[in-house]
Structures are given as C-alpha cells and as structure tokens.
C-alpha cells in the first residue's frame, strides 16, 4: 500500500521514469464497478447467457456482509464508507489517477462484471441520482479539489524520504499510530498507516522558475474493524492540524474547503494530540502554522 500511494517507485524508477508513469486505478471497464466491488463477492453474469462462465472470477471484492442489494442500513453505510476509502486513496496517490466512468455516481451493474451484451439498464448511466449517489459525487468532487489544490500530491519526481530543497523536513514521513516515524515495513499484518507529505520539501519549480510550495498534509489510514487513537506528529512549535476530510463523516462543504478552514474547533488538533481514527476510514489533515 505504501509503495502504491507513493507512485510505485519499485516498478518505474529503475527505468528512469517518473511518478506520472504510474497509471493508478481501482476499477476499469472490465470487472466490477466501484459500487459492485463493495457489494458482491462473486460475479453474476447469468444475463449474458453464457452460463456465468464469462468474466473474471478474480474480483478481489467484498460485499460487506450481504451479497447484492440490501436494505440493511449498517451494510449500506459500510459500503459507502468503503467507496470513499477507495476513491480518496486512488486520487491522492502519486501518479496519474484513472477513474472508471460512472464510479463517481455509484453506478451498478448488479454484479455483472462483463456486460458487453447488455444494451439496457445494466450498462446505462442513470443520472437521476438517489441521495447516497449525490453525496458520493460531492465527496468525489471534494477529493479532486484536494488533489488539484496541493502540489504535494502531484510530484514530478519520486519521493526521497529525506530532506529536499530548502526544507529541514523529509519530503515524506511514514508514521506509526503512536506518532513515531515508521522506519521498517516488516510487519505484514499492520493495518494502520500514517503518511506526512511536507509542503516545503518539493524541490521543484514552476514554469516561471519559482519554488513550488504546497501544504504539509497528513493522511491517516485505518483498515481495522475498530477505531484507534493516532497521535498527530508535532512538526513545529505552535502548529496545529486541521481536518479537511474524513471518510467516516459528512462531506465538508465546498465553501469551507475554499476558505481552507473549518469553523468547528473539534476539527483542530495540536501536534502531539491523539485523534480517534474511525474503523475502516481515511482522514486527511493539513498543517496550520498559525498559533
């Protein structure tokens, strides 16, 4: 996960390529849609009249407890959260994101992962969105705004894991829940990860030769079934972290994002404080150096 979030240097750097060589995607035209990825454990291609033998059986999916459509609010809530988790990790990974059309509105093919012969509701886009679809579209737009507004997510060169440019900070820090730097990735059962991208350690210039400066950003990921306290790093004196996105909570309004501040004081934490990271969620913070 760490390798893919940071642009897959293990795959591309040896050939002299750069992060934009990594085309990142969760779903594509072959296979499940994003909504179906969290709603079905197996393909349901009977309508193709090939005895359900067509289409891949390797879907790497999870139905969140119920196969297919359901009215269970707990299952529906978990599915929406998982879709937000997939979307934010895709869009904020170094490299080029590839979003399958329709995933931004939660389009479903009812478990059909090979609808080549279905010129009907299975393959069509329904733009008459229900509430959950409209909310997911708002979330996707918010994630794209975060991506496009902050150059730490669009690096031209691979991260070095050391101070670069004029910064005293490493361009990326991998963090443990207790707040310390993660120096090794030898625990393959670990399901919690923190990533800090330094805004002043980009070491790149724009078309006018000016240094590119971004906002120092913290990404916290928890794939556990239970919440966990995550201690926010204390990078500078009199600094605090401001929550800009939480996949377990409501979508922050565009106006609040544009102002780059959240009025609710519960969204502000000092470095060294613990943040309760919800189960199966991703939270994004930006560093505010103002006291």
Is residue 45 located within the same domain as residue 138? yes
Positions in the chain short of pLDDT 70: 238, 250-267, 290-291
Is residue 121 located within the same domain as residue 8? yes
As for how many domains the chain has, the answer is: 2
Give the CATH number of the domain where residue 208 resides. Answer: 2.60.40.1180
Sequence-distant (6+) residues with CB within 8 A of 69 are 39, 110
Work out the angle at residue 11's Cα, subtended by the Cα atoms of residues 6 and 16, and round it to the nearest 5 degrees. Answer: 95
The boundaries of the domain holding residue 132 are 2-149
Is residue 190 located within the same domain as residue 139? no
Is residue 142 located within the same domain as residue 25? yes
Task: Provide the pLDDT for residue 256.
Answer: 55
Is residue 189 located within the same domain as residue 142? no
Sequence-distant (6+) residues with CB within 8 A of 254 are 141, 142, 145
Is residue 51 located within the same domain as residue 176? no
From 133, 149, 165, give the residue that closes a domain: 149
Phi, psi of 152 (to 5 degrees): -65, -20
Is residue 145 located within the same domain as residue 168? no
Contact of 108 with 33, CB cutoff 8 Å:
yes
Is residue 46 located within the same domain as residue 145? yes
């Amino acid at each position: 996960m760490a390798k893919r979030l940071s642009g897959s240097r293990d795959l591309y750097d040896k050939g002299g390529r750069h992060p934009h060589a990594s085309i990142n995607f969760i779903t594509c035209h072959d296979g499940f849609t994003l909504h179906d990825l969290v709603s079905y454990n197996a393909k349901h291609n009977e309508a193709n009249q090939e005895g359900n033998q067509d289409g891949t059986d390797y879907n790497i999916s999870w139905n969140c407890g119920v196969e297919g459509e359901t009215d269970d609010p707990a299952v529906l809530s978990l599915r929406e959260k998982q879709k937000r988790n997939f979307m934010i990790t895709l869009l904020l990974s170094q490299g080029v994101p590839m979003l399958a059309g329709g995933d931004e509105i939660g389009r479903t093919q009812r478990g059909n992962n090979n609808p080549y012969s279905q010129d009907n509701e299975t393959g069509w886009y329904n733009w008459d969105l229900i509430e959950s679809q409209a909310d997911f579209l708002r979330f996707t737009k918010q994630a794209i705004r975060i991506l496009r507004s902050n150059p730490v997510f669009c690096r031209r060169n691979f991260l070095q894991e050391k101070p670069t440019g004029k910064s005293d900070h490493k361009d990326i820090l991998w963090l443990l829940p207790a707040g310390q730097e993660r120096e090794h990735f030898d625990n393959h059962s670990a399901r919690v990860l923190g990533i800090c991208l330094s805004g002043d350690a980009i070491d790149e210039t724009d078309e006018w030769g000016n240094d590119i400066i971004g906002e120092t950003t913290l990404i916290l990921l928890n794939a556990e079934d239970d919440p966990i306290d995550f201690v926010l790093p204390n990078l500078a004196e009199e600094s605090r972290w401001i929550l800009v996105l939480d996949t377990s909570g409501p979508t922050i309004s565009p106006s609040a994002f544009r102002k780059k501040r959240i009025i609710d004081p519960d969204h502000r934490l000092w470095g060294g404080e613990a943040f309760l990271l919800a189960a199966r969620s991703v939270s994004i913070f930006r560093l505010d150096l103002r006291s």
